[in-house]
Amino acid sequence: MKTPSRIQPLVTDGLVDGVIRQLMSGKEAMVYVVQCGDAVCCAKVYKEANKRGFHNAVDYTEGRKTRNSRQARAMAKGSRYGRQEQEAAWQRTEVDALHRLAAAGVRVPTPYDFHEGVLLMELVTDEDGEPAPRLNDIALSEEDARRYHADLVRQVVRMLCAGIVHGDLSEYNVLVDCDGPVIIDLPQAIDAAANNNARRMLERDVANLAAYFGQFAPDLLNTDYGSEIWALYESGQLQPESALSGVFKAERGDADVDEVMQVIEAARREDAARQAGRAAADND
């Protein structure tokens, strides 16, 4: 097929020999099967911000580190340079997450290169060498549903131990190869320690899994692995192989109102100091 303009720089630089076909079009990117020497790989071309499906990106980008103060100020102002930097940071998040998660033993595609806004990575295949199907495209027995659910809950645990929450995990961004589930689509990945939305998003990810697999194994609908996993993480007890029950009972106790107010006031002062620092830097 004709080489898309966004992939042409990779062809020019010798990273890609040619485009075999389009694999899919998602809410954030177009994905192509490409020839790279003797290997067949996957090229993910990110869509422009105004064409993506993530309209509440601020929930995902909270707590992400910037390269320098100039970049941070530009992104905060929403200038043209700031928007370009914000877009580049969104794309780099997936590359960084894939490297960290692969090192942590999470089943994700192997990233090979990131060039001109295109992520070149492993093409996940089935036993016949064809692109692996998405989870929602395969028929599941009750046994398979239980096995895949347990596998993915364990992957979520390993991700959190590596400091990452997927943030959009569902049957639509899990591939299934001959060895089981492979997690994909991570540009919205969340820093678990720095993002105040991390708990909510992790619990939503796990609830999505329970809702999907619960169609085939109904008792999974009554589990609460998300709350259990987060409680272990918050207490510093979560390990990649932590035993899980799927049952969680929240401890009830009186709230320390004074402590809560102190935290709020400290956050207010910290924010005021940041705003003053930004104003001073802008006037320099």
Residue 3 DSSP class: P
3-state helix/strand/coil string of 54-104: CCCCHHHHCCCCCCCHHHHHHHHHCCHHHHHHHHHHHHHHHHHHHHHHHHC
Q: Which residue has the tokens 């790989």?
A: 41
Q: Tell whether 243 is covered by a domain.
A: no
Q: Tell whether 265 is covered by a domain.
A: no
Q: What are phi and psi of 34, to 5 degrees?
A: -130, 155
Active site residue 256: no
Active site residue 185: yes
Q: How far is CA 32 from the centre of its chain?
A: 20
pLDDT in tens, the chain (284 residues): 899 999 999 999 999 999 999 998 877 889 999 999 999 999 999 887 655 554 446 666 665 555 555 555 544 555 665 555 666 677 788 999 999 999 999 999 999 999 888 999 999 999 999 999 999 999 999 999 999 999 999 999 999 999 999 999 999 999 999 999 999 999 889 999 989 999 999 999 999 999 999 999 999 999 999 999 999 999 999 999 999 999 998 766 555 666 656 766 666 676 666 666 656 655 55
Name which of 120, 186, 185, 175 is nearest 151 in CA terms: 175
- Position 145 scores a pLDDT of 98
pTM: 0.79
Q: Tell whether 242 is covered by a domain.
A: no
Query: What torsion, rounded to 10 degrees, do the Cα atoms 33, 107, 157, 187 define?
Result: -20
CA distance 25 to 123: 15
Q: Tell whether 28 is covered by a domain.
A: yes
- Is residue 78 a contact partner of residue 33, using CB atoms and an 8 Å limit? no
Q: Is 184 exposed, middle or buried (0-12, 13-18, 19+ CB in 10 A)?
A: buried
Residue 133 DSSP class: P
Q: Tell whether 147 is covered by a domain.
A: yes
Structural domain for 129, as ranges: 8-234
First to last CA, the chain: 52
Q: Tell whether 74 is covered by a domain.
A: yes
Q: Tell whether 212 is covered by a domain.
A: yes
Q: Tell whether 256 is covered by a domain.
A: no
- Position 249 scores a pLDDT of 83
Of the listed 96, 185, 219, 254, which one is catalytic?
185
Strands (E), the chain: 18-25, 29-36, 39-46, 111-115, 118-122, 164-165, 174-177, 180-183, 190-191
CA distance 215 to 208: 11
Domain of residue 169, CATH code: 1.10.510.10
C-alpha atoms less than 13 angstroms from C-alpha of 191 in its C-beta half-sphere? 12
Of the listed 17, 96, 151, 168, which one is catalytic?
168
Number of structural domains the chain divides into: 1
Name which of 210, 236, 216 is nearest 139 in CA terms: 216
